Amino acid sequence: MPEKKTGHALLFDALWTKGTAFTRAERREFGLLGLLPTAEKTLAQQAEHCWHEFCRRHDPIDKHIYLRALQDRNETLFYRVLHDHIADMMPIVYTPTVGEACQRFSEIYQRPRGLFVSYPDRDSLREVLRNRPQRDVDVIVVTDGQRILGLGDQGIGGMGIPIGKLSLYTLIGGIDPARTLPIVLDVGTDNVALLEDPQYLGWRHRRIVGDEYHDFIDEFVRTVTDELPNVLLQWEDFAGAHALPILQRYRDRLLTFNDDIQGTAAVTLGALHGAARVAGRPLSQQQVVMLGAGSAGIGVLQMVHRQMVSEGLSAPQAAAQIWAVDINGLLTDDRTDLSPSQREFAQPAARVAGWGLSGPAQLADIVQHVEVGVLIGLSTAAGAFTEPIVREIAAKTARPIIFPLSNPTSRAEAHPSEVDEWTQGRALIATGSPFGPLRRDGVERTVAQCNNAYIFPAMGLAVTAAQATRVTDEMMRAAAAALGDASPALTDPNQPLLPAWSQVPEIAEGIAHAVAVQAVADGVAPRRSPTELSARIAQVRWTPEYRG
């Protein structure tokens, strides 16, 4: 128990309370006698009671609110309930329900959690950070709320994302919840509905831009680095204009990564590993099309490119097999509106000149003229993978790999059941949001969800255990490879491309070990043997059991 905490202070400390599980001896020792009902419950009994209460609520947002209140009341019990029912809890704690929770953040707000780092407090950032609830922090997740899932600018409501992400760091990666810190950078909002909403809890101001924004981010990073020099800082749901520049600016200064860019890339590559092996064609022999050339889409393509090169292609050969499409069409080298990272994947304009098009090549044109084997969507363009497009791909390849990855469900490029129907069940499918199982020939098949939760909790466990100082690209690729090796489809092609959620906490240990070994190989972690790293992972991993 925390030193000197007794009575109400202990009973209402969410990290240390046991509620009705305090024994009679503990109630006397800690000044709790008379503060609790007489009955003594076990953690398992408490969890069963909470599960019953959870099931009584039918609306997902009501279930989310219940779980958040439980987390605020008793963290150990909260994680025990999640652990016992992980498949049921994932879509409630995180996507897709967390999207609505962000939209309604001010309306459903009950108790503070984490830090609200507001631009008006820019001259007091050190004071703000020193007001954090816990002194020692292993992982921070931070957002500025500008691009929440596919829902756009949610302002301070974006805080729901760091809270949800860190819940998964603990549930899957075993990061001690007492050593996590969610942060929202309140730099205003351009969402007029929020600015006019009397319930909105954020700074009522248009978003700061330009030098003001970048100076604020700089000061935030400087303060975090000074106060918590060994913390893992994860960037989450920043707009495309900021996400990649921020990652590039700071990735060599501190232990940091962007989950939308690197985590999405790693989990997608992990699913592609399994899909390519089932299809019998490695990525280096595939033509890959990405619909969506924002920071997430480009991040995936960069990792796909590195994988192709590792399989024997030269860098130019790999680039020639990658086709990226944005809202204006195919990225080509004659376009003047491309960012430097987009230009890496610009096809020579001459390559499509003979297609006889009156304008820029669109997705349908590429599918018609190229033998596409892999189609990935990170565009938030609902329904963009149309029946003619999917059927065209299926006509050219025996096992098309089709990943409509946009979140939330309403923004997916296609419904997996449609893709399955249009390809006569031959498509290898993964989605971004959870979908129900497919039914074909009387058999039910689970659809893999390319949820970053397969990657980032294991990354947190790895860098914490290995005491890494940086997150390298090769560490991310090691995570993807370890995830791909765990694909159920490798032993049964009718199984999903990614493991069941009930298996993920166990699989996270294997991914964390692979990442930790790579961190040592990359020279960003102290030298330890694989056996020593395994021991470190077991040592730092937190489990939802009452202490002391």
Task: Give yes or no: residues 269 and 243 share one domain.
Answer: no
- At 480 the pLDDT is 96
**End residue of a domain, out of 430, 453, 476:** 453
d(CA 394, CA 26): 65
Q: Are residues 290 and 363 in the same domain?
A: yes
Q: Considering 18, 63, 79, 94, which one is annotated as catalytic?
A: 94
Could you give the CA distance from residue 11 to residue 5 in angstroms, rounded to a whole number? 9
Does 251 carry a binding-site annotation? no
Of the listed ranges 61-65, 147-151, 190-194, 473-477, the least confidently predicted one is: 147-151
> Is 147 within any annotated ligand binding site?
yes
Kindly state whether residues 213 and 337 are assigned to the same domain. Answer: no
Residue 371 annotated as lining a ligand binding site? no
Band (3; pLDDT cuts 50, 70, 90): low
80: CATH: 1.20.1370.30
Q: Is the dihedral of CA 376, 379, 383, 385 positive or negative?
A: negative
Is 236 annotated as belonging to a binding site? yes
The CATH number assigned to the domain holding 302 equals: 3.40.50.720
Q: State the number of CA atoms in the 13 A half-sphere of 16 facing the CB.
A: 17
Mark whether 225 and 285 lie in a shared domain.
Answer: no
Answer yes or no: do 288 and 401 share one domain. Answer: yes
Asked about 546 being catalytic, the answer comes back as: no
Is residue 407 domain-shared with residue 287, that is, in the same domain?
Answer: yes
pTM score: 0.92
Q: Whole-number mean pLDDT of the chain?
A: 96
pLDDT per position as a tens digit, 389-447: 999 999 999 999 999 999 878 889 999 999 999 999 999 999 998 899 999 888 889 99
Residue span of the structural domain in which 374 resides: 262-453
For residues 319 and 446, membership in a common domain is answered with: yes
Tell whether 292 and 433 lie within a shared domain. yes
Q: Model confidence at 547, in pLDDT bands (50, 70, 90)?
A: confident
Q: Which of 419, 453, 487 is the last residue of a domain?
A: 453
For residues 232 and 163, membership in a common domain is answered with yes
- Asked whether residue 66 falls in the same domain as residue 137, the answer is no
pLDDT recorded at residue 336? 95
Check whether residue 274 and residue 411 sit in a common domain: yes
Q: Is 94 a catalytic residue?
A: yes
In angstroms, the CA 173 to CA 168 distance is 7
CATH code, 226: 3.40.50.10380
- Among residues 91, 116, 141, the one where a domain terminates is 91
What ranges in 131-285 are assigned the alpha helix state H? 160-173, 192-195, 210-227, 240-250, 264-279
The contacts of residue 393 (CB under 8 Å, 6+ apart) are 367, 372, 373, 375, 400, 402, 423
Asked whether residue 245 falls in the same domain as residue 378, the answer is: no
pLDDT tens-digit map of 95-143: 889 999 999 999 999 999 999 999 999 999 999 999 999 999 999 999 9
